[in-house]
Structure 1
Amino acid sequence: MKALLESCGLSLLLLGAAACVDVEDQPSRVFDFRVLGIATEPPELMASACEITQETLDELSSDVTYRTLLVDPAGEGRPIQYTLWACADREDRTCANASNRVLLSEGATVAGELALSVRPGASTLAEDIPLLQRVQELDPYRGLGGLRMPLVLRAQAGDEVVYAQKLMVFWCPAVEGMRVNEQPVIPGLRVDDVAWPAEAPLELRGAGPFVVTSEDVAALQETYVVPGLRLEAVTLRESWEISWHATLGEFAPQETGGSSFGGQEGRHRTEWEPPAGAQAQEVTFWAVVRDGRGGSSWVVRRALWSP
């Protein structure tokens, strides 16, 4: 499992009653059933050595907490049926190939954060073939850059069906200095430079736009080591991205952070604007952070907004 770094993120496939999407629809405006984020804790598993031994196999088979953020603002608490698969092929976004998948969990829940304890690294296919072995066989780089196992969630609320894929990362210390990724966590949010508490809704008045920012994350972005093409140690630095969502109005920009081609990091500053003519109401906001390496988390905030 050696080095060619690849972004490990979240891909979504939405299937439902609607045949098309309004061209004016914005990802930041949450009005229907969807998955806003997926995280694994830890965000990756790293064996203590690259030699294949029972100890290293056990390390890659450790328990993982799979978390997903299910939102259903118009569902009125309706049940959500879910199935979670560990799969071998990243191109199979719905994990439809039964010969290349292992069932990790299934059940029913409601909107909110769903947390499941799973062991994807211990999954085996027919004839006791390790799923990780099949992942490596289907990887065009044959594990160069680590192994990325797709975890595919199918969630259904009423007639609406969502598939969401998260790549679980498996590594070994191929070069000196490699260490396990730490989960990115947003330290706090502010609105018009006022701290936004998690415990109670913040009162907002007027037409806006309201400036929303994250507390400084610069000191939290990790410097990390990956193997290069010649198996030399390459040092990189994270540049977190935050996507912004709300049950009313729109964010602009809808995603902040990241880096330009010149290496300039973007600020985590956005503006939220409620729609003209809207009535006073409680609004739910989500900020989902991703570190570009497979790490992700989110925070939820609420506001009592009035025109």
Structure 2
Amino acid sequence: MQYITKLEELQNYWAQSKKAQLRSFARNVALDIISLKERNVDFEEVFKTPRVHFLYIHHIFEDEETNFDQLLNLLSKQHTFLSHTDAINKVLSGNIDKPYISFSSDDGLKSNLKAAEILNNYGAKACFFVNPNSIGIDSVSKAAEFCKTRLDMPPVEFLSWKDLDTLLKQGHEIGAHTMNHEDVAKLTLNEFEDNLNQCKSILTASCGDIPHFAYTYGGFSNFTKDAYDMVFKTGYYSCSSGVRGAHISDGSIIKENEFIPRRDHIIGGWKLNHIKHFMKKSIDGANVQNNFLPAIWK
């Protein structure tokens, strides 16, 4: 048993399930067809839309590095890159005067060091949302157990506490992502409160202030209004989802405990046309209501 280092290895792992294999094949075919239909779209004009667009990854494996660099190069032409904190403040202030992008990453995989290196080359700073219990895992067998039970993937290397310090010194941010990649929907509110406080205490001791939280699995059905309120009650400044979307403004000021960032998930190895499609879809669907809590929580 050894750590995987390539996206191809992860895709092969997922392909062991015929259902997953068919789903992946169908997805790629559908997106290729959509890309053909969008071949005459002026994406330079689309990307000029004033907005705050949160993009997030989980990994940048060896075979994703070149493509991720090309993506950053593409996006840098029309966008200003913001830190997670600055991007949230931009939405809260209502002053969205041009196109902004903010990057983040979930789960604390070691390959995020390479992601940070590429981001640094473009002056972009990300927020790395981590699970304290996976930081510093020091053996393949322990990583395999965590990955199998929590992430549905083969063993990968995780960031160490020293790595987090390196990211902070480079100007990146560290955020909380539950202690052990728990599904918050399966926790009681008291259990979740303890989890939030443990995350904040442990991460603060090593990394300084931890203002940001992103919940696992990301869908609005994976979280609740009570859980959202608890995030702010325990001292966090923001609570991010993994629901696709982009943020525009009518100039109104928003309170931090009224706003939930939507984040577009991307995989560094995806075709650039596929990523551009997802971004365009979020831009086309952007509205002021996206800044606020979903109807499903009311």
More strand by share: 1
Could you tell me the TM-score, scaled by structure 2's length? 0.23
Which structure: greater helix fraction? 2
